[in-house]
A and B are shown apart, each in its own frame.
Chain A
Amino acid sequence: MKRIWTRWLPAAAVPAVVAVAALAGGAAAVSPPPPSTPEQVLALMASHASRPQFSGTIEERANLGLPSIPSQALGPATKSSTLGAEAAFLELLTTAHTARVFVNGPMLVRVQVMDQLAERDFIRAGSDWWTFDSKTNAVTHATIPTHGIGSDGNNPAEPGTAPKAPVVTPDQLAQRFLAAADASTNVTLGPSVTVAGHAAYELVLTPKASGTLVGSVQIAVEAQTGMPLGVDVYAKGQKDPAYHEAFTQLDLKAPDASIFMFTPPPGATVTQVPDPAKEGTQKAPSSTAPSNTAPKAPSNTAPKAPSNTAPSNTAPPSTAPKAPSNTAPSNTAPPSTAPKAPSNTAQGPTIIGKGWDAVVVIPAGDVPVGVLDTPLVKQLATPVAGGRVLSSSLLNIFLTDDGRVIAGAVPVATLIATAK
C-alpha cells in the first residue's frame, strides 16, 4: 500500500467540522418579532409578573477579578461554623454554578444547585419550606403561613431564619435591577439574542452616574412571554461580564407535581426552624451551624438582602454591593450569640447616596467581633490608609480600622472618602 496523503484528510477534516459546528452553534439566533422600544419590552416583562410555570437550568458565573479560589480549598472552610458563610460567599463569587429550577406558580418551587457529586436543594411546597444538603445530609424545615406573599412569590415578612433558595433566578434578579432603574439609568434595547433556544429582547441598563463601577446591565427578555432569561452585569473596563446568569435550558411547561414533594431521607439530620410568629424571641436554630449556614449563606448574597436593609428600592440593585456586608455580620456570628437580622437592630446599616453609586455603611457595633480577623479576609484584603480593602471589578468593601464596614459598587477612593 502506497503512502498517500489523502488518507490523512479525514484527520484534518474532523477538527474543521468540529470548529464549524462549534461556531455555528453559537451563531444560530432566531430574531424575535420587532415591537421594540424599551418601553414595550418593559411592559411585556411586567405582563409576565404573575409567575408562570417552567422548568429550566440556570448557569451562573462571576468574573470579578478576584483570585480564583477552587472549591476544594474552600471545602473545609464551608463546613466550619465560623467561616461557613464567608467561604460559601467566596465560593459563589469565584466558581461557576449550575442549578435546575422548577416552578409551578409561587407556591411550588424547587431549586437544585448541582455541585460535582453533590447537590443543594431548596423546596417550597405551599407552606412547607425545605433545604437539603447532600454533602452533610442535613435538612432544614420551616412552616410558614402562606398569607402575605408578594407578587414575586417571596414572602416580604419572611423571617431571616427561613430556608432560602441557594440561587436567584434571572427573573428575580432582573426584577431587582428594574425596580432600581429610575431616572439615574438609561434603558435602551440591544440587539436581540437567543437564550436557551428562545428568542429574546435585550434590555440594556446603563447607569448615568459616573461614580459607579457598574458599566451596564443586560437583561434578556423572552420575546413571547416576557420572562427574563438572563442577566449580565458588566463592570467598567471589563470585556467579559462580571456576573453572568442565564438559562441554558428552559421548558415552559408545568413541571411534574412529584418534583415538589419532599420527605427528609432516612438518616438525615433535620433542623426544624421555629414558627416565624414567635420570631424575635428565638435563638439560632442550631448551634451546629454548618447545616444551616451552608444552604443559607448564598441566599444572603442574593439581591434579596437589600430589601431587608434598604429603606426603599432605590438602593443599588447589584447582587454584589450589599451582599458581603450582610453575609459577614449576620451569618458569621459566633454560634453562642443569637444572630440578629440587620433590620431588627436599632442602629443598622445606613445607605449613603442613591442609585448606582450608593454606599452602604455598617456601624462597628453591627459587625461581629472577630469577623475582620478571619484568615480569609486577612488573605484577600489589601491594606490602605485607614483600613483594609476587599477589591473586585464590580464591588469594593472597605474595612475601616475603627471597625466599620463600607461597601458599594464604587471605586475604593469613594469608600475612603465616605469613611472620613
Chain B
Amino acid sequence: MSLSETTAVTRQPLGVRLFASELSVLFRRWRTWAMLAALGAVPMLIGLAVKFSPKGPPSGRGPAFLDQITHNGLFVGVVALVVSTPLFLPLTVGVVAGDTIAGEAGLGTLRYLLAAPTGRIRLLVVKYVSSVVFCAAAALAVVLGGTITGAVLFPLGQATLLSGDTIGPAESFGRLLLMAGYVTVSLLGLSAIGLFASSMTTVPVGAMAATVVLAVVSQVLDNLDQLDWLHPWLFTDKWLALADLLRQPISWTSFGDNALLQLGYIALFGALAYGRFTTKDVLS
C-alpha cells in the first residue's frame, strides 16, 4: 500500500478502515490466491480435456453443457461453475469463512483487534463482508478461468441455451456473469454458517471443517426423496438452479427464491454469531 493510499484510508470511518485492512490481509495471503488459482484451474482442466479428447464430448453425457463447449468457448465457464458448485466452491468459502474469527483467536490476535475501539458487532460485520467479497472473487475466478480458456481453445460462436434458442458471444458472457452473481448469492448462507462456526471455537480448522461438512450434508439431504418436505429449507437447495439463467426467457424465480433463502440463513446465523460472539470471553 502506498503512502497516499494509507493517508486516504486513515481519513475514512473506522468500519471502512477495518474493512480495508481486513481485505488486504485476506488478499495478501498465499492461501487465498492458491484457492483462487485452483478454482481458475477447474475450467482449464475441463477445456483441455474436451480439446484433446480423441472424439468430441458425447451429447447428453458427462457434466451438463459439456457438449456446448465446442460451439462456444464461454461455456467452459458454465460447465466449470456447475462442476465447482457442489464441492470446490463451498470448500474454499468454508476455509475463508471458518477462518474469520477462529483464525484471529488461534493466532492470538483477536484481543488486539478488540482492544482497538472497533466493537464486536462491527468486527463481526466486517469479517462477514470480507468473506462475502471472497465468495464473489471465487465465482469470478471460475468465470475468468473459463473465459480465458474458452477464448484460447475454442471458437466464440453461437451458444445453445437450455430452451434451444441460440445466443451470441456477447450475451453468453453476460449470462456467465449473471451466473457468477447467482453463485455468489448462493454462497452467502454458507458464509454466515462459517462465521457462526468460527465464533464457536479458537481452532480455525474445526470451524472450516464444520462449515464444509454442513454444505455436503445439506446436499446429501437434498438428494433424499423421503425428506422432500425439508428440501425448500436447505441452503443448498437452489444451488443448481443456476441453470435457470440459461433459459430463454430467463427464469428469475429461482434467483429470487435463492436470494430470499440465503437472506434467511444470513439472518439466522448472523444472529447466532452475534449472540455467541458478544457473550463470549475473548481470552486469546
Question: Which residues of A pack against B, CB within 8 Å?
Answer: 1, 3-4, 7-11, 13-15, 17-18, 57, 68, 70, 79, 100, 112, 114, 116-119, 121, 130, 132, 134-137, 139, 249, 256, 259, 262-268
Contacts and interface: CB of A to CB of B under 8 A. Distances in A.
B105 to A, nearest CB: 15
Interface in B36-73: 59-60, 64-65, 67, 71
A7 B244 contact: no
A114 B160 contact: no
Contacts of B271: 10-11, 13-14
B163 interface: yes
A136 B247 CA distance: 16
B68 to A, nearest CB: 9
A136 B59 contact: yes
A3 B280 CA distance: 7
Interface of B: 59-60, 64-65, 67, 71, 82, 120, 157-158, 160, 162-166, 223, 225-226, 240-241, 243-244, 247-249, 251, 253, 264, 267-268, 271-272, 274-275, 278-279
Contact of A135 (B60, B71, B157, B160): B60
B165 A57 contact: no
Main secondary structure of the interface of A (DSSP, over half): mixed
Closest 8 CB pairs of A and B: A132-B164, A10-B271, A265-B160, A8-B275, A117-B64, A119-B162, A11-B271, A68-B225
Contact of A117 (B71, B82, B163): B82
Contacts of A263: 166
A119 B264 contact: no
B123 to A, nearest CB: 13
Given A117-B64, A136-B60, A266-B71, A1 B243 contact: no
Contact of B268 (A3, A14, A57, A265): A14
A111 to B, nearest CB: 11
Contacts of A13: 271
A116 B253 contact: no
A145 to B, nearest CB: 24
A358 to B, nearest CB: 33
Contacts of B157: 266
A9 B278 CA distance: 12
A235 B269 CA distance: 42
A1 B163 contact: no
B166 A10 contact: no
Contacts of A114: 244, 247, 251
Nearest to B70: A267
Contacts of A7: 274-275, 278-279
Given A8-B279, A134-B164, A262-B164, A119 B268 contact: no
Contacts of B67: 137, 267
Contacts of A262: 164-165
A262 B160 CA distance: 12
A138 to B, nearest CB: 9
Contact of B240 (A100, A116, A119, A268): A116
B114 to A, nearest CB: 9
30 contacts: A1-B120, A1-B278, A7-B275, A7-B278, A8-B275, A10-B271, A11-B271, A14-B267, A18-B264, A79-B60, A116-B240, A116-B241, A117-B243, A118-B162, A119-B162, A134-B160, A134-B162, A135-B60, A137-B67, A249-B253, A256-B249, A259-B248, A259-B249, A265-B160, A265-B165, A265-B166, A267-B67, A267-B71, A267-B160, A268-B164
A351 to B, nearest CB: 35
A8 B274 CA distance: 8
A304 to B, nearest CB: 23
Contacts of B226: 68
Contact of B164 (A15, A18, A100, A265): A265
A119 B246 CA distance: 10
A249 B160 CA distance: 26
Contacts of B162: 117-119, 134
B19 to A, nearest CB: 22
A259 B158 CA distance: 18
Contacts of B64: 117-118
Nearest to B273: A11
Contacts of B160: 134, 137, 265-268
A255 B248 CA distance: 12
A256 B59 CA distance: 31
Nearest to A61: B228
Contacts of B225: 68, 70
B1 to A, nearest CB: 32
A264 B162 CA distance: 12
Contacts of B244: 114
